[in-house]
Amino acid sequence: MGLDFTIIPSYLDILITGTYWTVALSTLSIFFSLVGGVFFAVVQLNRHAIVRWPFSGIAWLFMGTPLLLQLFLIYFGLVQIGIDLNAFTAGVIALSLHFAVYNADIIKSAIVAVDKGQYEASRSVGLSQLQAMRKVIVPQAIANVTPALGNMMIALLKESSLVSVIGVMELTLSSQRAISDSFRPFEFYIAAAAIYYILNLGLEYGVRNAERRSARYR
């Protein structure tokens, strides 16, 4: 039958809608995964084991199981205990938690690598433990691992396609809907791949800018 990319403009509204939801899903998940990563990292460095253990257990659970299984568990499983989430919210929660534990590992290593004298100096000028971590240690740690965190953001963007299995009309599912109507899988999967690539380029550009700005904390 040959290829016919001229059919794509007829379904452009579907692809644009899918791109919008992919961007919204990824943006929220990236934000919460970074916030959660900082929180998990700080908690796991707490000297009290009773504080560390519950979050270490959460990290073990999310690092040791597939993201797809976590999506099913949050979307389909929580309903059985009375927590009924819509697909988009379940997708954000699953992506955020899954990548937060990996971000926490990266940030925790960076916090440990910051010179202890920085912490002691912060405490000596009157900052509390929390203030020292928030204003001095964590900003330096994140600045040192911006490239690694950027890689996790890009991975999250690509993994966001998995939420299509629970019905979120993101780019992958939107492409599949166009394919089911047009019977032109190659053209629409190529179009979706091109859009993902463009989104990745935009994210990489943002990460490079963030890396340059964070250099002042080093």
**What was the pLDDT predicted at 75?**
96
**What was the pLDDT predicted at 1?**
61
**What was the pLDDT predicted at 58?**
86
For residue 70, give both structure tokens: 């976590």
Grade residue 216 by pLDDT with cuts at 50, 70 and 90: low
Considering the entire predicted model, what is its pTM? 0.89
Q: Average pLDDT in the 57-76 region?
A: 93
For residue 150, give both structure tokens: 């950027």
Tell me the C-alpha distance between 123 and 169, whole Å.
49
Of the candidate ranges 137-141, 187-191, 198-202, the one whose mean pLDDT is the lowest: 137-141
Grade residue 215 by pLDDT with cuts at 50, 70 and 90: low
Bigger pLDDT: 16 or 132? 16
Domains of the chain: 5-217 (1.10.3720.10)
112 has a pLDDT exceeding 90: no
Secondary structure string (H, E, C) spanning the chain: CCCCHHHHHHHHHHHHHHHHHHHHHHHHHHHHHHHHHHHHHHHHCCCCHHHHHHHHHHHHHHHCCCHHHHHHHHHHHHHHHCCCCCHHHHHHHHHHHHHHHHHHHHHHHHHHHCCHHHHHHHHHCCCCHHHHHHHHHHHHHHHHCHHHHHHHHHHHHHHHHHHHHHCCCCHHHHHHHHHHHHCCHHHHHHHHHHHHHHHHHHHHHHHHHHHHHHHHHC
Q: Average pLDDT in the 3-20 region?
A: 94
118 has a pLDDT exceeding 90: no
Q: Average pLDDT in the 128-150 region?
A: 83
Q: Average pLDDT in the 137-158 region?
A: 89
**What was the pLDDT predicted at 125?**
79
Is the separation of the CB atoms in 142 and 107 below 8 Å? yes
Tell me the C-alpha distance between 79 and 119, whole Å.
45
User: CB-based burial of residue 201 (10 Å sphere; 0-12 exposed, 13-18 middle, 19+ buried)?
Assistant: exposed
Percent of all residues in the chain with a pLDDT value above 90, rounded to a whole number: 63
> Please, which residues have CB within 8 angstroms of residue 167's CB and are 6 or more apart in sequence?
87, 173
pLDDT digits (tens, 9 = 90+) for 25-43: 999 999 999 999 999 998 8
217 has a pLDDT exceeding 80: no
218 has a pLDDT exceeding 70: no
Q: Average pLDDT in the 102-114 region?
A: 89
Please name the amino acid found at residue 111: I
Instruction: Compute the mean pLDDT over every residue in the chain, rounded to the nearest whole number.
Output: 90
Grade residue 53 by pLDDT with cuts at 50, 70 and 90: confident
